[in-house]
Amino acid sequence: MRIVLVGAVESTRVALEALAAHPDATLAALVTLPPDKAVRHADWVDLRPAAAAAGVPVIEAADVNAHDVLDAIALSQPDFLFVIGWSQICRRGLLDLAREGSIGYHPAPLPENRGRAVIPWTILQGRTDTGATLFWMDDGVDSGEILVQHRFPIAADETAQSLYDKHMTVLAAMLEESLPQLGSSPPRIPQDHQRATWCARRRPDDALIDWAQPADAVWTLVRACGDPYPGAFSFHRGRRLVVWECELRGPGPYWGLPGQVQAILGEGALVQCGDGGHVLLATVEIDAGGRCAAAELLGAHDRLGLDLLALVTFDQGRR
């Protein structure tokens, strides 16, 4: 069976390796983003070297639905199209190029959590379990029949990176299970659309830390938005401060303001939150200047967050 793979992230690399190694599959082409479009994916991976090593032709595409891209894919004569790690909606003209069907991957137990930014939302939802799905693509978004689905638990201190890594392991297992089935009568399990839930798109600025929130909410935001994503952030003396790692701490013998550094400890900088609890900042970064220990950068009683008084003064000065 001839397969064309579409994608540009780590999950695409996992699929490329699985498809290239499968004895009954011919990976006829990889469709991926050119490097100058890499900003579309926070977790973009340059897959061209891996494709070259596997002898797979590469089609670079900013728009997978463009006529010239469709023409190039058609020349590969795919039986199946696999779309794994691609942010654009795939139109009917693309899906119809695969004689036996098009298969998508979604890092959620469909029909739950259709949509965008699913790994951060999964952590922000406070779930104790999640799943991943390979499904037959249709004209909807994440709405097609299920080929295979695996569920797995989420740790209480799960981070975006650790959850991402779990998804890569599960994706490899699902591909190993489902690829042998494609040559006969592969499963097509309808989704229960009445149970569908949706995740909205997230932008980097959505990860702004609100120190008035409870400490648990701040800790969760940092875990949800860290690597491989741009990170949760605040401001320190007017400069953007990304918090890459922190720990949840309870109330302490401090009386201060939300966003104020209450103490510098050996492990980091202790910051008070809106409920009187604290988070211990361990690794931070100022203005993309490189990651460092928070205790080396911050001082006791420093204030984190936007200085609203300075903003008002600045605005008045412009008038």
pLDDT tens readout for residues 69-127: 999 999 999 999 999 999 899 999 999 999 999 999 999 999 999 999 999 999 999 99
Domain spans of the chain, in order of start: 2-199, 204-312
Residues of the chain with pLDDT under 70: 308-319
Residues whose CB falls within 8 Å of the CB of residue 88, separated by 6 or more in sequence, listed in order: 63, 64, 65
**In the prediction, which pLDDT does 73 show?**
98
In sequence order, which ranges of 125-242 are alpha helices (DSSP H)?
Answer: 160-178, 215-225
Of 221, 199, 202, 226, nearest to 210 by C-alpha is 221
- Cα–Cα distances (Å) from 19 to 7, 70, 96, 180, 296, in that order, read 13, 21, 21, 11, 47
According to DSSP, the β-strands at 2-6 and 80-83 are parallel
Hey, what CATH class is 204-312 in?
Answer: alpha beta
CA atoms within 13 A of residue 312's CA, in its CB half-sphere: 3
What is the rounded distance in angstroms from the CA atom of residue 266 to the CA atom of residue 286?
A: 20
Supply angle C-alpha 180, 183, 184, rounded to 5.
Answer: 100
Fold: same for 2-199 and 204-312? no
How much is the pLDDT for 302?
Answer: 96
Residue 204, SS3? helix
Task: Give the pLDDT of residue 310.
Answer: 53
pLDDT at 59: 97
**Which fold would CATH assign to domain 2-199?**
Rossmann fold (3.40.50)
pLDDT of residue 313: 47
Tell me the CA end-to-end span of the chain in Å, nearest whole number.
Answer: 68
Of 91, 64, 68, 96, the C-alpha closest to 80 is 96
